[in-house]
Amino acid sequence: MIRLLVLMSATLVALYAVMSVYGAGDPRAQRQQTASPTPRSAAQDAGARDLIAPPEGRTPPATNSGAPTAGNTSAEAPSSAPEVVSVAAQTPQRVQQFPGPALRPSPEYAGQEQQAVAAPPPGAQGPILYVTGNSVNFRAGPSTGDRVIGALGQGAAVEALGPTDGAWVNIRDTSGRIGYMSGQFLTSNAPN
């Protein structure tokens, strides 16, 4: 145990000595010195007028963008700001054209026609909702502990008898049965 402690101490002392001799010092100090003190806009970099307002009481940094100065009289003065191009004119829309025949349904759906929208319950006066699950239990009360009256399939139309924004919705199906269904399985959008 003592040998292990001595070996670990010697390793730490050697590591400290190597880092002291060959270490680079404080790398954060170098990063802080190279940080830009004032923001510059891309328009300023391109030679146009600055789009970022200078801070109060300070003048913007001078840029040598080809403007004539006392020592540089041969340079031309920059012209007006560059023209703004709209995105629609700049980037044309790309539409991929796929060669070949039109798409067909897969073999398991080849003989089936698209289902028609389910008819609402007769005499419906409230909002019509549609079942989104494959088979959703239709219960006697607003709880999973209540007895199951039946199950409704996907796309079945039901009439909402109460508020539709709760966790459980009071509904009436096409057979005239009244009960509750979880609101997460009901939508006002008709199935396709």
Q: For residue range 146-169, what is the model confidence (pLDDT) as tens digits?
A: 999 999 988 888 999 988 888 999
**For the chain, domain boundaries:** 128-187
Between strands 178-182 and 168-172, the pairing is antiparallel
- Tell which wins on pLDDT, 13 or 123: 13
What are the φ and ψ backbone dihedral angles of 150, each rounded to 5 degrees? 180, -175
pLDDT in tens, 20-30: 888 776 666 66
3-class SS at 55?
coil
Is this structure's pTM higher than 0.75? no
**If you average pLDDT over residues 42-68, what whole number do you get?**
55
Query: What band does 43 get if pLDDT is binned at 50, 70 and 90?
Result: low
To the question of domain 128-187 being in CATH 1.10.238.10, the answer is no
